[in-house]
Structure 1
Amino acid sequence: MMDYENLEQSPAYRCSSAAVVDALGSDVREGLISEEAHTRLQRYGQNTLPSAPPRPAWLQFLAQFVNPLTILLLAAAIISLVVWWIEHESPFPYEALTIFAIVLLNGLLGYVQEHRAEQAAAALQAMTVATARVVRAGTVQTRPTAEVVPGDILVIEEGDTIAADARVLDAIALRVAEAALTGESAPVSKKSASIEQEVGIADQTNMLFGGTTVAAGRGRAIVTATGTATQIGRIAGSLEQTVEKETPLQRELDHVGKWLGLVVILIAIVMSATILLVDRVGALNELVDIFLLAVSLAVAAVPEGLTAITTIVLSLGMQRMARRHVIVRKLSAVETLGSTTVICTDKTGTLTQNEMTVRAIVTASGRVDFTGTGYTPQGAVLQAGQPLADQPLKEEVKAALRAAYLVNNASLLLLDGSWVVQGDPTEGALLIAAHKIGLEEENLQGRFPRLSEVPFSSERKLMSTAHHDAVHGEQILIYSKGAPDVLLARCAFERVGGRGQIIPLTEERRTEILAQVACLATEALRTLGVASRALEREKIDEIGELDEWVEQELVWLGVIGMIDPPRPEAALSVQRAQQAGVRVIMITGDHPVTAVAIARELGILKEGERAMSGLELEQASDEEFQAMVRTVSVYARVAPEHKLHIVQALKANGEIVAMTGDGVNDAPALKVADIGVAMGKTGTDVAKEAADMVLTDDNFASLVAAIEEGRAIFANIQKFLRYLLSSNIGEVLTMFFGVILASSIGLISEAGTGLVVPLLSTQILWINLLTDSGPALALGVDPRDPAQMRKPPRDPKTHVISASMWSSISVIGVLVALATLLVLDWSLPQGLLVGAGTLRYAQTMAFTTLVLAQLFNVFNARSDETSAFRSLLMNRWAWLAILLSLFLQVLVIYLPPLSMAFGTVPLSITDWLFCLVVASIVLWGRELTKLLARLLKRRRTN
């Protein structure tokens, strides 16, 4: 029976760990069973901090109308309605009510777009849900942090973010960074011993607090409080909510939208003034009509939805990236992807399969080879191709693997008929090799129980454990494993022969061992040294806690060579990156010879090039190293701080750098890089928090795929920008020059007086509703063009709308206006081209031509260089949007109620064909300019 409430009266830090476990009704080894965990989740709620409630749907909908131009348009429509009520010049206020209907539809469309963007963001957030490792029913499980409950046994290690407040049960060199909660800059050492007196949070050294991170070591703890009951939960109300900042692209588009808005408003004012002067308007209803027309033009032409559509396109693109195993944590990273010039990648698990297999072991008496692959503990142990028969050599290999088995935190399990490694793949490979030589029969864990541990760190490149020998209890055995060169430097002796003779290590023998390490490395084997020593218990009791002092005067046992084969798709991904103008740099802690072998196999390193070691990096000056990074593509035996140095040097050379990482100490490099990329499987919480992106499969190919998607997303944003801006400019130019050149093209009132314009205000708003929504969004999801990965990276200093793009936008805008005014002139009885139609017929023809021209413009907008006829049928959404727009335009012309509302008359098949042919000028004219541009480019390159 759980007595959780008693912990409020007697805080957990003042109770023994056993008392806390009893009070919470849990079990140190078994944890909670699933049913009990579910019951507690229902009782205490999810382990989450309070957040602001979502905005109600009705407020989201009303927010669509809180816009100065929309408010002005509604005010103009109301005034028009009042004037109609006073003067009753027409039987029904079609225009005012139609404007209300269009504004309502626009608001509904904006609400749907915003809602979709929120859903997309929520879906992405769900993909990056935080997790914690807990013991449930005797097994370590990874569960969402939100499902952690009081009584759960947390399993934590370096780099983890603590899921909830918890009482430490056992700690091995455990240090936790608590600056976010206590302000203490240095990590705090944690122990399991209870504290008798009452102390503050900063001095509760046997407690872990939710939201803090493990800086070093590992341990277990029992959860005492979750959600709002945690220390950070109690102060969550005073914490600022994280707000997603606008990306540089969104800020630029917002600036473009405001600038265009001012220009369009100025044009609308000039156009209104021209109508007043030329047509000598005096009636109240005509003045209202002019006002309506000007506001309608401004509403239709100002691209206020640029940032909204951009957010949708970015979110949808991020969902596509998620399907390719890439979770984007920051929108700005999507923009930067297309500009990436260098990828700095780890080797193990990213370029390789992260499925280590021991291939060879070299000891004092010789070398043995292991067969078999994967995690199945089956395979032969061979000497010179024959079963191992040399007994002294066999005993040496057993001693080496015994050490590797014990200085190990992984476990090998048989689940559902398959062998599975829980823990680090390298340590798992050592367990499998030990099984192959028969060490599992010795019951090593039973005979040599672990007493303490000096954990591995990337700086030390070593790990050691202390064990009690149940047979020879007077001694404590120390086992160490680590980088061969580092470990060998701490060895003074070597084990030789079947009886375990210990002899001093001579300099000649050290040189010979290093040569053996280098030889294994030339076979692309990752090498690991193992060593041991025996200590008297009295000496340990005298000095106290185990630390690095035990890693001295060790006995060298041998070197183990392991293979982690390259991923099958890695070489092709490296090639694709290089074709895209992205340089690939491999950074690894492995031996330089191993690194070179793998890098050459993957195409990262060319013949004649060499790897640079961490030691060489340290010895070079900043200026020398900045020059070196221009050519060096492989770095071996590097520490995490070297990664930071590499990124800084590359950025100083003007490169846009993507850096991968998984450890706590990788966080500085991930933050400094233009794009920090964390590993989803092996990455620590600290690395993921510092990164802009997370690879859920830890695969280099996914990173290259992300660059491809990033380029595609940016290209799609340019497509719909090209379409929206050129179409809107076409509308503005049509109205402006239609009014300015009204007498020249025959645009005069049939009665000789009154207001005459190329298009009615309702028609302008309809065009905006019809063509600026579906087609624009369809271009935002245009399929990616494979040619994007054969182009160099985009210069991040260039604007999203370049000078050449503005030029093409202007050309299309002029063509749209020219086609529309041509049809308008041809349809009127007076003007440059004498026709025979009425004013309403001419406006309907111009209206239809402008719609068709904008639909032709959809194909233009897909590229500024490539012909529109290339991959014409690829985007089915664009075709659906075009067909829907045509269908709705037909309804507006032929359905009587809509015809009255929009001032249209029925058109004949001939009229439609004429409008279609003239509107296609937009397509053919742009195709001609693209062809000329391609010919000029070809001449310049030749």
Structure 2
Amino acid sequence: MKNDESMKINDDAKKSVSELFDQFGTTKAGLSQVEAGSRLSKYGPNTIQQAKRQSEIIVFLENFTSLMAILLWASGIIAMFAGMMELGIAIWAVNIINGCFSYWQQHAAQKATDSLKKMLPAYVKVIRDGKTEQIPVDQLVPGDFFQIQAGDSVPADARIFDSANLQVDESSLTGESVPVEKADSYRHGDGEFAQQNIIFAGTIVTSGTASAIAVATGMQTEFGRIARLTQSQKKVIYPLQRELNHLTRQLTVIAIMLGIAFFLLAVFFVHYPLAQSFIFALGMIVAFIPEGLLPTVTLSLAQGTQRMAKKHALLKNLSSVETLGETTVICSDKTGTLTQNQMTINHIWLVAHQYDVTGTGYVNNGKIQANNADVNVQQDGDLSRLLSIATLNNDTEVAENPDGGKAKILGTPTEAALVILSRKAGVAAKVENQRFPRLKELPFDSGRKLMTTITKTTEGQPLIYTKGALGSELQICDRILDNGKVRALTTADRDNISAANERYSKQGLRALAFSYRIVAEDDPLNDTEIANYTIENAEKHMVFVGLTMMSDPPRPEIFKAVRNCKRANIRIIMVTGDSPITAKSIATKIGITSDKAQVITGDELDQMADKDLREAVKGEVIFARVAPEHKFRIVSMCQANGDIVASTGDGVNDAPALKRADIGIAMGVTGTDVAKDAADMILTDDNFASIVSAIEEGRTVYSNLQKFLLYILNSNVPEAAPSVIFLVTRGLVPLPLTVMQILTVDLGTDLLPALGLGIEKAEPGIMDQPPRPQNSHLLNRSIIWKAFGLYGLTASVISTGAYFFVNHVNGWPSIPLAASGLPYAEATTMTLGAIVFCQIAAAMNCRTQISSVFSIGLFSNRRIWLGIGVEIVLIACLMYQPFLQEIFNTGPLNVAEWVFLFCIPIPLFLLEEARKWAARKISKNN
């Protein structure tokens, strides 16, 4: 159903002038200043109200209140309670640094300005008390008369009273690339915002002038309605946030259960005092919590955003990086996103010749590249005549950008396409206008759909040039230009022309027809003053010349991007305000859908039940002539099907869907500020292909988090194994690893290599895999098996063996195991060293899941090697610095023991490489 505002707009469009005067209590002299002031108090300022934002303090504190952050706060308290004040402070410091870094990243990406207000002009010309004056736009009220001209932004929804050659770019509302004609008479076209005599706030006047009466201001405009719809949407929780919360709960349960188990065993099996048993259990709980998880996640996401920024994709929220990797559906706007938002002529149809001029380049010798061959324009009189009409019957200029950027169009995109075509053929507009000076123009209007200009030939004869809609042109033509000769226009010619137009229309091309007439000496018009040339006497007995076919072409890079999306099992659904024919043509051409795809219009969508729409979005489907509510609903139904949805767009009409989507992607160059504010990601080059690169980065981030998790958890088993031995032997074997040494691994030696894993580059083939299922988790069976089984148990055997090896060197079993003193310190140090060097091998092994590390470069990740170097230096400091020896109960190792430690990683790394090789072989054979 249509909303109340839209229904009211349509009612206002149908009313007579006198009825509107009565409704708004006004006249052609405008409102009085007193009445305007009263209405300003009643309706409020003509501004878009912003949704109430959270205070910066709350936004800042939110970075310290995630489940993982709360767990770290609790861990710090536990450590302090257990008498390990330094450890508790260290854990809290990690939490504080991570929260501040996350807030800084988030704050840096947010816009500080009110972008919705930017789209409205600062001043507007109004008529009050019968006088024209300029007032701030926020003081415009319903019932005000105002004036607009080319280049102005429309300040309010308004009913047109009189206009001249008025065209308005409504792409920010409708998504349709071609400006629409507006006039003071009522006519309703296809789709929403299609009333001919209504102009809408936030749209741009591309040509002409008009006077209008404001019928809605501020939040009551269509612009305000869309803003309200956008603001009412609460942003969905990012999948990564949900997954981290799930992981935190998993790890919390595991840690607490282990702590309780160790406490009970210490009390009832080893007969430890309650106080010591409690501290022992608390230490195990803290040891099993991955304190480095949050900083690693934050760094990995931050590195991902930096890499994506280099590829022209700016992320406003760190968590949205990973969301891209889960994307299963991209709901994409067409105009400016999949296409270039630049009308381009690619076919010329003449009676004698048809030219394909797609991708033609500039030439200056009077030739044009067509059908892969140079065509001499002067030798084809028909083509020369068409280019002359395109040049002279034209009010648009294309101003070159002095900085080498995109040229600026001063006029309409359709006429700009003609200017560029002429320039490609070497026709200079300035020279032509000097040779054939314009005498008069009969402006385009939506009724007759023609534009006519009158010039003079070099012989001084009046020359009439006309361009416009094919149907209108055929009505005024009775002759045709055929290979340089003028002959009668026959029924067969008309059928041939119409067939060509239909053929091109099926390709999504728009036709523009051209005709001319040289006023003969014996023609009564030849003796008439130019001022007396009218539509009735000028636009008749014309000579039909031909057609140009134009379209908004696809971006060159879009074809590869679409193929990559399909390879990654990501579906693309086109959602556009453009026509069904154009939408399907573009979608088919770039490979989004086949020609069998279902096309659903906005009107058809209104009649569809949610159940039917949910089924439709599962298959090949294109949505055309859609309104903002439609885009929003389409995204919602995809999400209801379980899809992770990325929605792209650049206009105001895209904002609600951008905010509703799991990841909203706005265009940075052509996008409106409203769209950018609603989005999670902004493409600085408006390149759809950048989305594919961003998706690869998102998948890489998630893969790196799993690598980190595998690395960080596999050390928990060898950390717990000494305590298990202590408990099983009822204390006969002293603790091979102290609590402080355990935490040395978690917060010291493990941290830097883990951070290095967080920035690992994409593993080969990551885009050949489908998006991960939503029911999958970071901590899956594979990670559990490797961390607690394969890697963990291997490291446990090696580290425990190292403990008994040192004791054996010191005389065990002849001498009982020492529970204190230097021999005990050396034994525990050897256990700690063995765990650290097992972790060195694990850091290398975790860099890939199935590919060989050599395939990505053994030394390609310098941060991991830096982390390995730092942890070796750190363990050496613990061994040889006296004050650290006292804190961590460590002792010095001899050369032979160091050699033993350095030998540990080599076989572990080679064995894992062999396992990966076997896994690749099995996968290839399957």
Superposition deviation, residue 890 in structure 1? 0.7
User: Is the Cα contact below 8 Å between 1:274 and 1:739 reproduced in 2?
Assistant: no
Cα distance in 2 for partners of 1:55, 1:617 equals: 40
Query: In the alignment, which of 277, 282, 285 is matched to residue 298 of structure 1?
Result: 285
1:821 matches 2:800 = yes
User: Is the Cα contact below 8 Å between 2:803 and 2:831 reproduced in 1?
Assistant: yes
Cα distance in 1 for partners of 2:922, 2:367 equals: 67
* Structure 1 residues 240 and 381: alpha-carbon distance in aligned structure 2, compared to 1, 3 A threshold: closer
Matched to 2:685, the amino acid is D
Cα distance in 1 for partners of 2:596, 2:588 equals: 9
Superposition deviation, residue 705 in structure 1? 1.0
* Structure 1 residues 114 and 649: alpha-carbon distance in aligned structure 2, compared to 1, 3 A threshold: closer
| Structure 2 residue aligned with 1:385 | 375
User: Is the Cα contact below 8 Å between 1:336 and 1:796 reproduced in 2?
Assistant: no
| Structure 2 residue aligned with 1:120 | 105
Superposition deviation, residue 721 in structure 1? 1.8
Superposition deviation, residue 681 in structure 1? 2.3
Query: In the alignment, which of 902, 905, 908 is matched to residue 888 of structure 2?
Result: 902
Alignment of 1:741-756 (within 5 A): 741-742=728-729, 747-748=733-734
TM-score relative to the length of structure 1? 0.64
Q: Tell me the secondary structure at the aligned position of residue 338 of structure 1.
A: helix
* Structure 1 residues 904 and 412: alpha-carbon distance in aligned structure 2, compared to 1, 3 A threshold: same
Alignment of 1:59-208 (within 5 A): 67-77=73-83, 99-125=84-110, 165=138, 170=148
Cα distance in 1 for partners of 2:330, 2:749 equals: 40
User: Is the Cα contact below 8 Å between 2:98 and 2:298 reproduced in 1?
Assistant: no
Superposition deviation, residue 656 in structure 1? 5.2
Cα distance in 2 for partners of 1:653, 1:491 equals: 50
Q: Tell me the secondary structure at the aligned position of residue 759 of structure 1.
A: coil
Matched to 1:319, the amino acid is Q
1:891 matches 2:881 = no
Superposition deviation, residue 358 in structure 1? 3.5
Cα distance in 2 for partners of 1:264, 1:569 equals: 50
Cα distance in 1 for partners of 2:235, 2:658 equals: 19
Superposition deviation, residue 863 in structure 1? 3.4
Deviations 1:117-169 (A, max 9, x none): 3333344336x98879xxxxxxxxxxx969x997899xxxxxxxxx9947676
**Unpaired segments ≥5 residues, structure 2:** 1-32, 39-49, 126-135, 141-145, 158-172, 174-181, 183-198, 211-218, 222-229, 457-463, 517-541
Alignment of 1:192-591 (within 5 A): 246-277=237-268, 280-281=271-272, 290-303=277-290, 306-307=293-294, 309-329=296-316, 333-343=320-330, 350=337, 357-362=344-349, 373=360, 380=367, 385-388=375-378, 398-399=388-389, 405-406=394-395, 411-413=398-400, 415=402, 420-422=407-409, 427-433=415-421, 437=427, 439-440=429-430, 441-442=432-433, 488=471, 492-494=475-477, 496=479, 511-517=495-501, 526-529=509-512, 559-562=547-550, 569-582=557-570
User: Is the Cα contact below 8 Å between 1:355 and 1:374 reproduced in 2?
Assistant: no
| Structure 2 residue aligned with 1:781 | 759
Moved more, 720-729 or 925-934: 925-934
Matched to 1:517, the amino acid is N
Alignment of 1:872-887 (within 5 A): 872-887=858-873
Matched to 1:111, the amino acid is I
Superposition deviation, residue 385 in structure 1? 3.4
| Structure 1 residue aligned with 2:535 | none
Deviations 1:42-97 (A, max 9, x none): xxxxx9999845699999999999822312322332xxxxxxxxxxxxxxxxxxxx
Deviations 1:861-882 (A, max 9, x none): 2334344554332211111111
Cα distance in 1 for partners of 2:571, 2:739 equals: 54
* Structure 1 residues 317 and 490: alpha-carbon distance in aligned structure 2, compared to 1, 3 A threshold: farther
Matched to 1:515, the amino acid is A
| Structure 2 residue aligned with 1:84 | none
Superposition deviation, residue 782 in structure 1? 0.8
| Structure 2 residue aligned with 1:796 | 774
Superposition deviation, residue 326 in structure 1? 1.6
Superposition deviation, residue 856 in structure 1? 2.4
* Structure 1 residues 322 and 581: alpha-carbon distance in aligned structure 2, compared to 1, 3 A threshold: same
| Structure 2 residue aligned with 1:913 | 899
Deviations 1:548-595 (A, max 9, x none): xxxxxx999853234777655444444433433345677885896997
Cα distance in 1 for partners of 2:359, 2:923 equals: 57
Cα distance in 2 for partners of 1:817, 1:371 equals: 68
* Structure 1 residues 445 and 911: alpha-carbon distance in aligned structure 2, compared to 1, 3 A threshold: farther
* Structure 1 residues 118 and 463: alpha-carbon distance in aligned structure 2, compared to 1, 3 A threshold: farther
Cα distance in 2 for partners of 1:666, 1:481 equals: 31
Cα distance in 2 for partners of 1:220, 1:804 equals: 68
TM-score relative to the length of structure 2? 0.65
* Structure 1 residues 712 and 366: alpha-carbon distance in aligned structure 2, compared to 1, 3 A threshold: same
User: Is the Cα contact below 8 Å between 1:300 and 1:764 reproduced in 2?
Assistant: yes
Cα distance in 1 for partners of 2:78, 2:866 equals: 33
* Structure 1 residues 624 and 264: alpha-carbon distance in aligned structure 2, compared to 1, 3 A threshold: closer
User: Is the Cα contact below 8 Å between 1:395 and 1:497 reproduced in 2?
Assistant: no
Deviations 1:202-249 (A, max 9, x none): xxxxxx99xx9559999999xxxxxxxx999xxxxxx99999775232
* Structure 1 residues 75 and 152: alpha-carbon distance in aligned structure 2, compared to 1, 3 A threshold: farther
Cα distance in 2 for partners of 1:121, 1:260 equals: 27
State the Cα RMSD in Å. Answer: 6.1
User: Is the Cα contact below 8 Å between 2:350 and 2:382 reproduced in 1?
Assistant: no
User: Is the Cα contact below 8 Å between 2:704 and 2:760 reproduced in 1?
Assistant: yes
| Structure 2 residue aligned with 1:844 | 829
Superposition deviation, residue 892 in structure 1? 0.9
User: Is the Cα contact below 8 Å between 2:664 and 2:678 reproduced in 1?
Assistant: yes
* Structure 1 residues 707 and 669: alpha-carbon distance in aligned structure 2, compared to 1, 3 A threshold: same
Superposition deviation, residue 111 in structure 1? 3.3
* Structure 1 residues 373 and 831: alpha-carbon distance in aligned structure 2, compared to 1, 3 A threshold: same
**Unpaired segments ≥5 residues, structure 1:** 1-9, 16-46, 78-98, 133-143, 154-162, 179-186, 192-207, 222-229, 233-238, 455-461, 472-476, 534-553, 749-756
Deviations 1:261-291 (A, max 9, x none): 2332332233234334455555xxxx65554
Identity %: 30
Superposition deviation, residue 696 in structure 1? 2.0
Q: Tell me the secondary structure at the aligned position of residue 415 of structure 1.
A: coil
Q: Tell me the secondary structure at the aligned position of residue 794 of structure 1.
A: coil
* Structure 1 residues 845 and 452: alpha-carbon distance in aligned structure 2, compared to 1, 3 A threshold: same
* Structure 1 residues 671 and 111: alpha-carbon distance in aligned structure 2, compared to 1, 3 A threshold: closer
Q: Tell me the secondary structure at the aligned position of residue 833 of structure 2.
A: helix
* Structure 1 residues 519 and 277: alpha-carbon distance in aligned structure 2, compared to 1, 3 A threshold: closer
Q: Tell me the secondary structure at the aligned position of residue 865 of structure 1.
A: coil
Cα distance in 2 for partners of 1:559, 1:149 equals: 38
Matched to 2:282, the amino acid is V
User: Is the Cα contact below 8 Å between 1:815 and 1:921 reproduced in 2?
Assistant: no
Cα distance in 1 for partners of 2:842, 2:514 equals: 72
| Structure 1 residue aligned with 2:11 | none
Deviations 1:821-871 (A, max 9, x none): 222233335989999873222111112222222332222323343445543
Alignment of 1:631-646 (within 5 A): 632=620, 638-640=624-626
Deviations 1:735-774 (A, max 9, x none): 5413323459x514xxxxxxxx232232222222113432
* Structure 1 residues 556 and 247: alpha-carbon distance in aligned structure 2, compared to 1, 3 A threshold: farther
Deviations 1:508-536 (A, max 9, x none): 666433432356579x8943435899xxx
